[in-house]
A and B are shown apart, each in its own frame.
Chain A
């Protein structure tokens, strides 16, 4: 072995020792920071329900009539008694056969692909001022009521962990879950790229734009 090769070996050994001291490996638990999550801690926060198959839906159940009562108390102020939406708050019903129209109305009934997603969303985010405070039974009942308002389930429907994943949403088959982009391609032309340019629309005079100087604007379109 040449002298330089021996030196390289010695140097290599030195590096191994040094890297051990610097603790560069990354096995699980290597840093040892934090505390193991206990089953009770996980149970408190593990609220997600998988949309497409309802995995992790909790025990409990609720029907349409109960849902109507919970809805009137907790939801109707914004969403309207029958889910029609107050002001600019979201409509929850209607919009059937509008997705190809000039002005589509995507709602739970016309757009949402999975029924268990409705349970998950109400449970985690609603009612807006006091989210995640309703019982599982009340969330099931609201889910049943909104599905019934959209004529997706009958009025005697009872939502629970078995029935909800079986509900087929009308728009279920119309989602593509792989991104087809890039869906445009062009060569960056540099000169004489177009013959005639016409302005096809302008924001001038539309009175939709809040002011961008001075205090915040409270304008509404005329």
Chain B
């Protein structure tokens, strides 16, 4: 580095620290003072050629639970829902679930092979795939183990760690039906094997009907190329179904007449019931909602008027209604749903609440367009016990204490 550039860099760093310290004191920046950033020259365009959040947002990151997994390569990270607003998850904060780490794939070398019970087995390059007619759709993806640490009891005092394995994005790519029409589906074909190019060669079976209905082979997330963590350069989006079937780094689709019973759909992603039987092929994400403010990470400062905010979603289609309770489910009021209300996408809800400083138990309950009502954890436990790991879509209860602090609790 040239000496002059180094000096400039050092000065900028020192300046940044000084500004930060002043701002945190709050006095020299608040009226009537004119703050330092108003009396200095800011950084120019392309100072950050690829933008990034303010340094003051450094805490807003994906986080993991170190004790949950043996290492980080086969593990999960959670999205900081407590600091997100609206229904779109920023690409850098979308939750991660890898089974063999994050591969770095050269898109020029990536290939998608489609074969099996088809008329014309094909190998497609990324350029080939991008030539097909494209669609853009907004859908959530949720890991079915989201909330899985809470089956037995309230454990994680956090919105991020209890609900952060969900994200919602605008996905752009090719309908899988277009690709399957292009190769020609043989009439014996009933299932598709979808496989990733990562070291896990992640593999799931999908019924052909779902593939032809609304699945997408996507290369773009919120307007830019997929992030490597989300399957760059190509992933499958299976709207409304559990995250694991949304194969990342997609490299192969094979049609067959029966499912493959891969490890991920037999030993994992199956739901163990109290009688010792297990449910398999439980793909659907049932309706779920959660209050994102207040929450353990975002307590209340003092009594007064607040807006309770939250998110609701359902694999069945659209959210129809969200009710909110402040007394642990004794009485409910219907919240306002905010546009857009899209099928198999996050939907925002709000309701005003005047907190009187007394203890409160906040809950939200979604009803989807199929009429399905989000259950309590007691209802789920009665049917499924406490060892099914996946598909805990129960009502979340946040306990508000008189000091405004918020805790994850379960009630009965």
Contacts and interface: CB of A to CB of B under 8 A. Distances in A.
B18 interface: no
A2 interface: no
A201 B153 contact: yes
B201 A204 contact: no
Interface hub of A120, A212, A217 (most chain B Cβ within 10 A): A212
A203 interface: yes
B379 A34 contact: no
A121 interface: yes
A206 interface: yes
B380 A184 contact: yes
B302 interface: no
B36 interface: no
Interface string A101-119: 0001010100111100110
A51 B272 contact: no
A188 B182 contact: no
A174 B244 CA distance: 23
Given A125-B100, A197-B328, A219-B66, A202 B113 contact: no
Task: Please classify how large the interface on chain B is, using the bins under 10, 10 to 19, 20 to 34, 35 or more.
Answer: 35 or more
A20 interface: no
B34 interface: no
Interface string B45-66: 0000000000000010101111
B270 interface: yes
- Of listed A46, A47, A87, A118, residue having the most chain B CB within 10 A: A46
Interface in B140-189: 153-158, 160-161, 178, 181-184
Interface of B: 59, 61, 63-67, 69-70, 73-74, 80, 82, 99-100, 113-115, 119-125, 128-129, 131-132, 153-158, 160-161, 178, 181-184, 193, 195, 199-201, 203, 251-252, 254, 256, 258, 260-263, 266-267, 270, 272, 274-284, 286, 296-297, 321, 323, 327-333, 361, 365, 367, 372-373, 375, 379-380, 383-384, 387, 391, 399, 407-412
Interface of A: 26-31, 33-37, 41-42, 45-48, 50-52, 78, 87-89, 99-100, 104, 106, 108, 111-114, 117-118, 120-121, 124-125, 128, 131-132, 171, 174-194, 197-204, 206, 208-210, 212-214, 216-221
Sorted nearest first, the 7 A-B pairs with minimum C-beta distance are A51-B261, A28-B184, A121-B263, A124-B201, A37-B121, A203-B157, A201-B153
14 contacts: A28-B181, A42-B115, A100-B274, A106-B272, A128-B100, A171-B278, A179-B282, A200-B410, A202-B408, A203-B154, A203-B156, A206-B157, A208-B156, A212-B63
Given A35-B123, A120-B263, A219-B66, 11 more contacts: A28-B120, A33-B124, A33-B182, A46-B254, A175-B270, A188-B365, A193-B332, A203-B157, A208-B155, A209-B155, A214-B59
